[in-house]
Amino acid sequence: MNYKEWLIYIYDEARKGHSYISKIDINLLENIKIISEKCFTQKGVYTVFVTLSIYKILHPEQDIRNHQTQIENGFSGRTIDTQYITPTLKELGLPSMAESGWLTLSLEQPYPYTLNYEGKIGNKEVKKAFLELIDAIEVQKIHPKYILVELFKQIINIQKQNQVIIKPLNNPEKLTISKIIDILNKQFSFNYNVFGGSKLPVLAFYAIYQILVDEIARYNNCQLKSLGSHTASDQSSKSAGDIEIIKLEKLFEVLEIKLDKIIDSNILRIAQEKIIKHNPERYYILSYADVKKDEIDIINDIIYQVKNNHGCQIVVNGVIPSLKYYLRLISSLEIFINIYSQLIENELELQAIHKNKWNELMEELENDL
């Protein structure tokens, strides 16, 4: 079997409930639990671990700690990940990076993944679990399949817990823009106390743009790029922003959307760098948290410079005012609600609490129609 076939085979074992717990000690099981629980926010670590494990199965003689060719006796883990592992993870509906786990800066350092690896993986608990699991495979000779099956079983269980069916409205023809804006405000401002909430306004705009590209003349011959991870940096995902619109095979428009970050001059400078690199015609920076008042002059200067030097119009605005404007442009509020609800239901980065809250708000909306 090749890399893809092994990954699918192991995933199927996990899906069928096969167990190798008896072959794994308590400490390793705890490490597996840590990686599984953080696989949605620490996708790089999880993806790299899966890649190394699959590689070890096919090449048992290789020390998988030497994950780069520039390391003595090393190999290119990134190549295997990009060509086989990440595409297969996507195919299986598992958490995955946009391209490769090795695009994460803390993991691409040219040092072996030994227990004293110097790469600055942000979450120390995850770093420890990751390195100890690799050590277990390489030094303690634990078969990678045993660990992967248990890892995937836990991830599958987490995904099942996060599955929530979004109930449709019974009277969508009575929808109004003000009522939709009201529940979106409540949804975005709610304190979920878990990661994932920042993806919600991104999904709202993605739903709107699915309609705009079909209905508005400006977006003739345009396509929406698939959404990437909202937990990955744009540097690691190689994207220009959260939402990208392509026109005639060129980047046409970009939306960078913030939930709880105030738009300041630093965000504008980062946008300026992306504009120079990607060259879109228009770049939206939208935040639910407003604009930093004492930096408005600096922000306007950057907008002016970018327009004059690069021809790109930066638009800074609030999330809610922008949504209110776009909702006026589309032909059907019902279509928007249906698309948005479907995106919420299917989004892997959202947890059950986000989906249940939307159901609650939809019920509230239903009662108000």
Tens digits of residue pLDDT in 176-207? 999 999 999 999 999 999 889 999 999 999 99
Tens digits of residue pLDDT in 312-367? 999 999 999 999 999 999 999 999 999 999 999 999 889 999 999 999 999 999 99
Residue 231 has pLDDT above 70, yes or no: no
Across 62-84, b (16+ Cβ under 10 Å) vs e yields bbbbbbbeeeeebbebbebbbeb
Tens digits of residue pLDDT in 143-158? 999 999 999 999 999 9
- Which range of 102-106, 233-237, 256-260 scores highest in mean pLDDT? It is 256-260
Helix residue ranges, H only, the chain? 3-15, 26-37, 43-58, 77-80, 86-91, 124-138, 144-161, 177-189, 199-215, 234-237, 265-278, 296-310, 319-329, 333-346, 352-368
Mind listing the domains of the chain with CATH numbers?
3-161 (no CATH), 172-368 (3.40.91)
Question: What confidence score (pLDDT) does residue 229 get?
Answer: 59
Tens digits of residue pLDDT in 61-70? 999 999 999 9
238: exposed, middle or buried (C-beta count within 10 Å: 0-12, 13-18, 19+)?
middle
Residue 233 has pLDDT above 60, yes or no: no
Percent of the chain surpassing pLDDT 70: 97
pLDDT average, residue stretch 110-123? 92
Residue 235 has pLDDT above 60, yes or no: no
pTM score above 0.75: yes
